[in-house]
Structure 1
Amino acid sequence: MKYLDEYRDGRLAARLLREIERKVAHPWVLMEICGGQTHTIMRYGLDELLPSSIELVHGPGCPVCVTPASILDRAIELAQRDDVTLVSYGDLLRVPGTKIDLFSAKARGADVRMVYSPLDALRIARLNSNRKVVFLAVGFETTAPANAMAVYQAHREGLDNFFLLASHVLVPPAIRALAASPDNRVQGFIAPGHVCTVVGCSDYEDLVQEFHVPIVVGGFEPVDLLQAILGLVTQLEEGRAEFANEYTRSVSYRGNLEAQRILREVFEVADQSWRGLGEIPQSGLRLRGKFAAWDADKVFDLQVPQAEAPSACISAEILKGLQKPTDCSAFGSVCTPESPLGAPMVSSEGACSAYYQYRRHSLVTIQ
């Protein structure tokens, strides 16, 4: 896409790197929140081009990675019922639950189908009136409006065989939890551009004031991220903590008001469990009572115990920015995209997946 060429311009990137090197005089730890940003950093080797005093760590901005195993267990339990069709995005099929994943459930005969949109799930429900069609809906504020619209449309149509098994999470409460942690190392955050496109910027301004930490909205191309890093380094070196938006071609201060409207109508804010981070207050979305008839958690009797991550998996430490994927003894050997121990290895936005795809040969020796 030609309009993106300027954001991949090597000469502009080199100028930004020189400016960052000129500005930086102290060591700083910066976190990019979004998994898409992590993959850009790994793909273009931005972390290796930056001055050694700048450390990039990777946050919990991969929606599949933070979906708790208990949600996967509930989805698997539903998929194994004779009258249920479980519909999901492809990334989720390989994410391990406590015992198996959805792909394995499908191999054992469960009716599990992959789609690219919640509208596809609605279509499956319309065409299969004798089936209970459950759409496993995960993600941040970016994907929540489309899933809200699917429920809204099912309500309008009176489509009584369509259900949502939801695990939607919100980014600002996660940043709050990280910033408030006694283990926190992060001194500046690159906020996720796609999320801010939907919800705007005011919540991030509040976090800046609360924790006196700079936050800069960044995009997903190399120049976008270098601009965000330069903004953070400049603030930190000058002793400032402010909010800034370096992704103005997509993000406005108020965000997408229509998307926010459908979110408020269909969902309400609730406490939410995150894989690796535990329960974070007021960090999730659940269906409002008006839409209870389409809420899989309320319609189906699901008796699934709380799940724990495999002891060998350090995904929790990675999602908190405390360790890197290559710090894990299982990385690239016991844990691979074909046999993942944790969600960050299988998801297309996961940090472990990014390291495996772009960095494993240069950083580790595969056993």
Structure 2
Amino acid sequence: MRYLEEFSNPDLARHLVGQIHAVTTRPWAMMEVCGGQTHSIIRHGIDQLLPPGVEMIHGPGCPVCVTPLETIDKALAIAEQPGVIFCSFGDMLRVPGSGRDLFAVKSAGADVRVVYSPMDALTLARENPDRPVVFFGIGFETTAPANAMTVYQARRLGVTNFSLLVSHVLVPPAIAAIMESPRCRVQAFLAAGHVCSVMGTSEYPPLASRYGVPIVVTGFEPLDILEGIRQTIVQLEAGRHELSNAYPRAVRAEGNPAALAMLQDVFEVTDRTWRGIGMIPGSGWRLSSRYREYDAEERFAVTDVRTSESPLCRSGEVLQGLLKPHECEAFGKQCTPRNPLGATMVSSEGACAAYYAYRRLDLVRL
């Protein structure tokens, strides 16, 4: 609690805002990668405290939001098979597939359960040896170690009725894809601190050098974000493009060696489709050959599901930072948290949900 209070101190926030205004001489556009950072920025009005012309572009760092539609449909197809216990974190249950979500499948009689850890799903598998148990493993590098450990434990314990539906994505290839888009306006990145606490920072200096953009590793509290913005603008104003760690209390350059070893054992890099963005080469993980028997896609033969998005939903442009949520014609009308067209309105980290929750409902022309 002490740290939460310290990193929300209004006097220190005003001091940092003053420093940001003092060093800014021109317009800049930077992207916060993580959806948790987006919510903090919108909740605290940080973007409205910045100098005129300094724009925060909301990035694709919401794991629920970028889970592709075909993966949601694969989850639905698996969950409705007789005897299956399908386990997921709660934020995935309302994410729309092509026509339904996991809540709808559950209400129709499927055994869909909310768990708080993938290890809970493994416990269910051990308690129900005559039933297949599937855990929906989504997320960035942050959640992957726990999922990897669960598969590792299932193999070690000889639990054969457990499997993992994998939809893990990686941040650095997404940064590269954003920078290579012909519509890109991003001049710098605030990198996600929790991702770097696992993976370390070694992948970011080459990206900063290749694309000529500062990358500042940042936390999630108001002061964390303001300090990240300050360091970013200092680099931009000086014409530098380096990696900077503004979150040293949680992030070390080498990351978490134990987690990295587990990830290297259980997963291997693969091409991955991002919802609303498309295929990004080398941007995801799948189970390695040693653990392929625990792959739910293979076990339940749902590898060839093909889908199409709602024509009204523009979440892909939101995820790429090309559109603010309230610039979408369906925002707050056809698309609301009660009737979401896309995952960015469902997820607790989605940009559309943040704009709706904190009443950023109207487009303001400056």
TM-score over 0.5 for the alignment?
A: yes
Specify the SS of the correspondent of 2:65: coil
**What do residues 25-44 of structure 1 show as CA deviations (whole Å, max 9, x unaligned)?**
11111100000000100110
Query: What displacement does 1:303 show?
Result: 5.8
1:231 maps onto 2:252 in alignment: no
Distance (whole Å) between structure 2 residues aligned to residue 251 and residue 273 of structure 1:
28
For these two proteins, the number of residue pairs brought into alignment is 364
Query: What displacement does 1:305 show?
Result: 3.1
Distance (whole Å) between structure 2 residues aligned to residue 108 and residue 258 of structure 1:
42
Name the % identity. 54
Distance (whole Å) between structure 2 residues aligned to residue 147 and residue 153 of structure 1:
10
Query: What displacement does 1:360 show?
Result: 3.6
- Aligned residue in 1 for 2:210: 210
Query: What displacement does 1:231 show?
Result: 0.7
- Aligned residue in 2 for 1:356: 356
- Aligned residue in 2 for 1:157: 157
Q: Would the aligned equivalents of 2:47 and 2:55 in 1 still touch at CA under 8 Å?
A: yes
Distance (whole Å) between structure 1 residues aligned to residue 352 and residue 155 of structure 2:
39
Specify the SS of the correspondent of 1:76: helix
What aligned pairs does 1:1-367 form with structure 2 within 5 A after superposition?
A: 1-302=1-302, 304-360=304-360, 363=362
Query: What displacement does 1:364 show?
Result: 6.3
CA RMSD of the aligned region, Å? 1.2
**What do residues 321-346 of structure 1 show as CA deviations (whole Å, max 9, x unaligned)?**
11100001111121111111000100
Q: Would the aligned equivalents of 1:332 and 1:360 in 2 still touch at CA under 8 Å?
A: no
Q: Would the aligned equivalents of 2:74 and 2:305 in 1 still touch at CA under 8 Å?
A: no
Q: Would the aligned equivalents of 1:60 and 1:320 in 2 still touch at CA under 8 Å?
A: yes
**What do residues 164-211 of structure 1 show as CA deviations (whole Å, max 9, x unaligned)?**
010000000000000111110000100000000000001011101111
**What do residues 43-99 of structure 1 show as CA deviations (whole Å, max 9, x unaligned)?**
100011111210101000000000001001001001111121111111100001111
Q: Aligned partner of 2:135: which letter?
A: F
351-360 or 301-310, larger mean C-alpha shift: 301-310
TM-score by structure 2 length? 0.98
Query: What displacement does 1:16 show?
Result: 0.8
Distance (whole Å) between structure 2 residues aligned to residue 236 and residue 290 of structure 1:
45
Q: Would the aligned equivalents of 1:227 and 1:246 in 2 still touch at CA under 8 Å?
A: yes
Query: What displacement does 1:4 show?
Result: 2.3
Q: Aligned partner of 1:115: which letter?
A: V
Distance (whole Å) between structure 2 residues aligned to residue 52 and residue 128 of structure 1:
59
Q: Aligned partner of 1:16: which letter?
A: L
Specify the SS of the correspondent of 2:233: helix
Specify the SS of the correspondent of 1:232: helix
Specify the SS of the correspondent of 1:82: coil
Q: Aligned partner of 1:206: which letter?
A: P
Distance (whole Å) between structure 2 residues aligned to residue 147 and residue 253 of structure 1:
23
Distance (whole Å) between structure 2 residues aligned to residue 187 and residue 175 of structure 1:
11
Q: Would the aligned equivalents of 1:164 and 1:295 in 2 still touch at CA under 8 Å?
A: yes
Distance (whole Å) between structure 1 residues aligned to residue 110 and residue 218 of structure 2:
41
The runs of 5 or more residues in structure 1 that have no matched partner are none
